[in-house]
Amino acid sequence: MEINKTMEMTYTIPSELKSAMAGKCPRCRTGNMFASPMFSFGSKRMLERCPACDLKFEKEPGYFYVAMYVSYALSVAELVSTCVATYFISGNLENPWLYIIVALVMSLLLAPVNNRYSRIILLYWMTPLFKFNPKVFERVKEKGL
């Protein structure tokens, strides 16, 4: 926050990628989208509304079913890259059990990441209704949230 000579406050707008990685609201980039950190037991619970700008995240019933397709694409990319990395690290192409075990372990470990970021990708880049609004950002910052 900077104060100009005319006593007006200007705020630095966070970047879209930084806000998405932090799980912030796509409209104001200030409020959290999820109730808890990613690797906690309540990490899957998404807030119904943004605590800062009151944006309703689920615009219609069943809206986040589309996030399953995004999660599927993320999973496929992760599994392919994991299996390629396994091949380069181990040099073993004959043993299918090595790849099956590595794929299962990685899919279980990355399930919370896929759940969270599939919804974030859906809201930030696949829904034109939820675009950043500088006026809402200024209003939220003036409230001190």
Q: Are residues 25 and 55 in the same domain?
A: yes
Q: How many domains does the chain have?
A: 2
Q: How far is CA 95 from the centre of its chain?
A: 35
Cα–Cα distances in angstroms (integers) from residue 28 to residues 10, 15, 18, 19, 84, in the given order: 15, 11, 13, 10, 39
For 9, the enclosing helix (H) or strand (E) is strand 9-10
Q: Are residues 66 and 112 in the same domain?
A: yes
Q: Are residues 138 and 116 in the same domain?
A: no
Q: Tens digit of pLDDT for each residue in 49-91?
A: 999 999 999 988 888 999 999 999 999 999 999 999 999 999 8
Q: Are residues 55 and 66 in the same domain?
A: no
Q: What range does the domain containing 45 cover?
A: 1-59+129-145
Q: Are residues 51 and 102 in the same domain?
A: no
pLDDT for res 7: 45
Please choose, from the candidates 59, 99, 65, the residue with its C-alpha nearest in 3D space to the C-alpha of residue 82. 99
For residue 100, what are the contacts with CB-CB under 8 A and spacing of at least 6?
A: none
pLDDT for res 43: 64
**Global pTM?**
0.82
Q: Are residues 22 and 52 in the same domain?
A: yes
Structure tokens belonging to residue 62? 């069943």
Q: Are residues 55 and 74 in the same domain?
A: no
